[in-house]
Chains A and B, each alone.
Chain A
Amino acid sequence: MSKERIKIAPEFYDIMPPEYQDLVNRATYGKEDRGWKDIGSAKELIEEHSLCAGCPESMAFRYILASLPNPEDTVMVGSTGCTSLVFPHVAVHNIHSLFGNQNAIASGLKRALTVRFPGRIKDVVVLAGDGATVDIGLDMTLQAWFRQEKFTTICFDNELYANTGGQESGLMQKGFVAKMAPVGKTFDKVRLPEIARESGCHYVVQCTVSKPSLVEKVIRNAVHVAREIGPTYLQLYTPCILEIGKNSMEGLQEMRDSEKPTERFAFKEFVSEPAKQLLAELAAKDKEKKAAAKEQLAAQQA
């Protein structure tokens, strides 16, 4: 797990476009404690995005890519949506699946990678919108969880079909009127985090992406639990500012307003017993490592 895997042939180094030179020199591949704080100082795994200015989804995407514990050995499986426009700019393997099929494809992929690379950790992360996860792809989503497939499912919940102009989705809040759903939603937002827990997910979190450190923590937890134990699910609120009538600067506030304890995106976390144990072990190891690093630093200063 390191930059050894992405070396440019020395004869061609001088002709490679600068972004590739940067990638091999300054990306965080192989860095164990990589995280959102690397954004802006290290070469990011997302060169530039083609989403709207101020789009919370673009923030979420950056945080996720910065937080993946093992990006060079991670495959992301996506579905059609705004993120499809960004994946070509991302330096992580990805598969664009047929709409709604993402969890079925990820299941096969994860199994194949396990067989093909038995000695190597290979993470699979599904990233799809709420339409693909909860409406059209709900069957595939649930079946993957029932089967205890070992990968993480991340749902970018913007509470409607934003990419196609604002149709009603299962995760839309009750009563919301969208551009192409003028009557207003007549039933409650689907409680997918609870469904995920009951369907066998070992680590489930619902939150907004207003706090990068929280996003980093839940991404790492979800990937580690999926790797060792079983399916995990993250539902991240990434409002579509265009479809809910907000300006570029208002996305962050929208998320802050929606994550208050009484609001629909109040932080929610379900962790199974085996996952709790694993996370405790990882936390203990992390603590030991930090203590050792601190001691080493003190010894150097003395």
Chain B
Amino acid sequence: MTQYKVLPGPEHFLPPAAASMGIRLPNPGEGHINGVIVPEEQAYEEAARQFLMAKVPTIFPGPLVLWAWNEKAAKKATAIRHLYETLKECVTPQQRAMLIPMPDYRPKYPKINPEVEINPNHPNLTIWHNKIDCCMFVGVHCHQANLSLKIIRGGTSCYTIAMCAQAGHEDAMLSFRDASVEKIMKLAEWVRKLKGTVKVSQVVSKSGASN
């Protein structure tokens, strides 16, 4: 059994793919936290806790939900916005919840504006710039999410959550699978449920998000 844990970085310039370290994906009804398979309920609670603990909890919606491809995408967009609004309501004035889009995957060298967008090819720039210490990817194609999650784990101390519509992500610190409108709404419920019960993190990292 692997001893490897998927933890906030900065881990390494090129961190290993978690899958290569023996981390496996959750089955339906499960999630993973730091690479350990857990029941989905536990993942909701931990994700909500991480959001509420963070100074700058952030949601990164990707192209699959930012663009109204179809009815399903539009419904997910509504749910994600609801999650963000809930998060905003539930954090303290010292925290700053953010919603930053990843409109597409083009390598936008050299003109990425980290204040208003995130790019999968250098997601660390947006995380560093906004001092994001907890983020959730949703609506990002898996291969781009994997790339980003690895870069983030490699170069920042940001806690990463993947709300994946497929089989989940080993490279996130916490991953859901089979994301749906219901699951996103349920996470919002958990955020509301834990409001006021979680202490904001005071951790200061030199090379991570909260520097």
Contacts and interface: CB of A to CB of B under 8 A. Distances in A.
Nearest to A47: B111
Interface string B99-115: 11101001111010100
Interface residues on B, range: 20 to 34
Interface in B75-111: 77-78, 80-81, 99-101, 103, 106-109, 111
A15 B100 contact: yes
Contacts of A48: 111
B116 interface: yes
A9 B67 contact: yes
Given A20-B103, A88-B108, A12 B113 contact: no
A9 B107 CA distance: 23
B103 A9 contact: no
A17 B112 CA distance: 10
B198 interface: no
Interface string A76-104: 00000000000011000000000000000
B65 interface: yes
A9 B68 contact: yes
B109 A7 contact: no
Contacts of A12: 61, 65-66, 77, 81, 99, 101
B189 interface: no
Given A9-B74, A88-B109, A16 B103 contact: yes
Contacts of B80: 11
Interface string B122-150: 00000000000000000000000000000
B106 A88 contact: yes
B67 A7 contact: yes
B81 A11 contact: yes
Contacts of A20: 103
Contacts, number: 48
B67 A6 contact: yes
A8 interface: yes
B116 A9 contact: no
A10 interface: yes
Nearest to B80: A11
A16 B107 contact: no
Contacts of A89: 106, 108
Interface string A1-39: 000001111111001110010000000000000000000
A7 B101 CA distance: 15
Interface in A155-187: none
Contacts of B106: 88-89
Interface in B26-81: 61, 65-68, 73-74, 77-78, 80-81
A11 B103 contact: no
Contact of A17 (B73, B103, B107): B103
Given A15-B99, A15-B100, A9 B66 contact: yes
B77 A9 contact: yes
B117 interface: yes
B101 A15 contact: yes
A122 B78 CA distance: 32
Nearest to A11: B81
A17 B101 contact: yes
A12 B116 CA distance: 12
Nearest to A6: B67
A88 B104 CA distance: 10
Contacts of A88: 106-109
Contacts of B68: 7-10
A249 to B, nearest CB: 25
A46 to B, nearest CB: 12
A17 B113 contact: yes
Q: Which 7 pairs of residues, A with B, have the shortest CB-CB distance?
A: A9-B77, A11-B81, A7-B68, A88-B106, A11-B77, A9-B68, A17-B116
22 contacts: A6-B67, A8-B66, A8-B68, A10-B68, A10-B77, A11-B77, A11-B80, A11-B81, A12-B66, A12-B77, A12-B81, A15-B101, A15-B116, A16-B101, A16-B103, A17-B103, A17-B113, A17-B117, A20-B103, A48-B111, A88-B109, A89-B106
Interface of B: 61, 65-68, 73-74, 77-78, 80-81, 99-101, 103, 106-109, 111, 113, 116-117
Given A10-B68, A12-B65, 18 more contacts: A6-B67, A7-B68, A8-B66, A8-B68, A9-B73, A9-B77, A11-B78, A11-B80, A12-B66, A12-B81, A16-B66, A16-B103, A17-B113, A17-B117, A88-B106, A88-B107, A88-B109, A89-B108
